[in-house]
Every structure is written in C-alpha cells, then in structure tokens.
Chain A
C-alpha cells in the first residue's frame, strides 16, 4: 500500500511525525528492567562520493556540508547510519578504494558516537564487496541499541541484487532469538519489496526475506537506493526510503528512464537531504523528521 508523505503528515499532524510503524512491542526486559531513554539516529543515504556530472555541480561539497550541518545541531544522534552507495561505482579497483578512503575520512568528522555502514551496489557489486569489507567491515550485521534490535542486510554484493540463502538463514537465526513483539528496525540498501521492478527497484529474493520478517509484529524497514522519500507497507511492515545526498531520481515509473533529475540552479540541492528517526518512550514509538543538506527541517 502506498502512503503519500503529505497524506501521512496530514493524518498525523505536522512535526514529530509519528509513523504508523511504531515499535510498541518494547519490553522492559530488553533493558534489564530500566526505563528506556528516548534517542534518535540519523539515516544518510546514497552519498555517491566520486560522482561527477551536471546532476550535481557541487558533488565534491554536498557531503561535507551535511557533515557540518549535523555537527552544528545542538542535539547529538546516538548514531548515524549510511544506507548504501557510499561511493559512486568505478571499474578501477584502485579508484574505488581511493573513493572509499576519502568518504571514510569525510564522515569521520561527524561528531557522533557511532557510524553504521551498509553497502550499496555502487560500493560492492563489481567486486562482491571486497573493497567495502576492507574499509567498512561486515557486509551485514545486527546490533542492539537501547532496547531496539537493528538488522542491517546486504542485498547488493550479489550483483543480481539478491540477499542469498546463507544470509537469509542468518537472518532467521538472528530474529529467532527475539520475541515476536520485540521492536526491530531493518536497514537495507535496495527495497525489499517490488517497488518498481521495471527499474530494478526490488530485491531478487525479497519475497523470501519478507516471509522471514512477517511474523515480527513491530518491525520497520529503512532503505535507500531510489534517491527519494517513499513510504509503503507490505502487510503490517512499513518501508521508508530516504533521499540521496548526491542527486534525486524520478518517482517510480514517472519517466522513461531512471535518470537523475536535473540540477536546478535556482534551488541548489533541491530533493537532497537526510532523515532523523526518533525512538520514544516505553513503547519505542518511531517518529521521523526530514532535513535538507543544510540541516533545515523540510
């Protein structure tokens, strides 16, 4: 089911948008009986470091400006997650590593306790994640944070865009440790459902992954890849895509090709931005705020 963000805002009220995908299954047992503290994290996506072209004449500055904007904010996120396509692809293995090192150096300037990285196909598809792992570690991972279970999936290092049976088995084992009401956030690069398969906006074995996620009643997915906000549900699971920090892409199926939208000199960096995800209260309810590259709420 498609949820237009404007409709979402209208329904739920402006500011501190509470998504329909809250995590009300939180249990005090998850924090050893202590009252959970509110926190937030940021989702940055599709930074495509190394891209060069008319779609973003400020390509060498946008990411740096966002780092400054995040650092200028009074509130500190608990962590920042990058949901893939950290770098722009290249056939040159040496240049790929150079871009990854440059990206890593830039984001190391973030004044945050932790950064979490996921691969995108631009980072990991051409060498099956070899250079990515050298720079950023595991291709998939899970971690607990203040009572919420986070799972970061890799649906890109197989160039056909599949998660693969081995990782799906790992996912089953990870989630199998949790209560069906546990609050879970799944992170991925590509959509796990068939958003628009004509443009390959899907995961080859996404249906298998969703069947593993389906039994968990308080699970939300945040992803990237499509360079724009999009809010959908599959069953009870909400899927929220993030904007890019390099160039926006057209709405699914709205153009003959998935080519970048042209840069507008009258509105530089329009369509680019990042997301704050708030986790609040005992219920571990989720809320989101969207920001432009200068850190202004949009």
Chain B
C-alpha cells in the first residue's frame, strides 16, 4: 500500500512539473492560424504567437489576456483556463483593410 501511495505521489509530482503544452499560432494580415484553438479546462498551456509580417495584437478579453505580437517576433502567453466555453480573440492593433476579420476562438473543453 505504501509503495502504491508513493507511486501515485511521484506520478502526481511529475504531472505538476510537466512543462505546459505549447500551442503555436501565427499572425499575419488578416488571420490567425489556427483560428480555432482547443484545450481542456485546467490545462496549463503556452500560446506562442509569431507575426509573419507586421505588428499585431492578441486580445482575449474574457480571460483578461492581451499581448503585442511584434513584427518578426514571438509573444508567449501562459494560461490555465478554469472555465469551459468558447472565447473570442481578435487582433487589437489596427493592421489595415481586413483588420476586422482578424479574429478567432479559443475553445475550452470541460
């Protein structure tokens, strides 16, 4: 029994220390790719946003997230969503005709 508990604790510690899943997203006029991102509630992830052309923004207001995505650079956003649902995100740095189309959805599964 003692051995089983130890094993469970070790597994649990290993899980806690596991690096977050990295989800790579590219941003360019006028789209995010992928535009729909799936993760599980409570899952620790890093959104790694890379701009392929100019400065963009990443705004996900319902989860209190916003980041600048510099031209040719990468922004990292770490999150662990505590609620399930569909959350809209959009570019919030005006990038030209088509800026209004630059949006996507983060889907947090229960």
CB under 8 Å from chain A, chain B span 51-96: 55, 57, 59, 61-62, 68, 88-96
Q: How many residues of A contact B (CB 8 A)?
A: 20
Enumerate chain B residues within 8 angstroms of A91, measured Cβ to Cβ.
96-97
Min distance, Cβ A264 to any Cβ of chain B, angstroms: 21
Q: Are the CB atoms of A160 and B57 closer together than 8 Å?
A: yes
Q: Is B101 an interface residue (CB 8 A)?
A: yes
Kindly state the interface size class of chain B when it binds its partner.
20 to 34
Enumerate chain B residues within 8 angstroms of A197, measured Cβ to Cβ.
59, 61
Of the candidates A89, A126, A194, A198, the one whose C-beta lies within 8 Å of that of B90 is A198
Q: Are the CB atoms of B92 and A257 closer together than 8 Å?
A: no
Q: Is A199 an interface residue (CB 8 A)?
A: yes
Q: Is A161 an interface residue (CB 8 A)?
A: yes
Q: Is A258 an interface residue (CB 8 A)?
A: yes
Q: Are the CB atoms of B100 and A159 closer together than 8 Å?
A: no
**Assuming the A-B contacts A160-B57, A197-B59, are A89 and B97 also in contact, with contact meaning beta carbons closer than 8 angstroms in the complex?**
yes
Q: Is A106 an interface residue (CB 8 A)?
A: no
Chain A 154-168, CB-CB to B under 8 Å as 1, else 0, gives 001001110000000
Supply 16 A–B pairs (Cβ within 8 Å), ascending by A.
A88-B97, A89-B97, A90-B97, A91-B97, A121-B94, A121-B99, A125-B94, A126-B96, A159-B93, A159-B94, A194-B61, A198-B88, A199-B88, A200-B59, A200-B91, A200-B92
Q: Which residues of A line the B interface, CB within 8 A?
A: 88-91, 121, 125-126, 156, 159-161, 194, 197-200, 204, 257-259
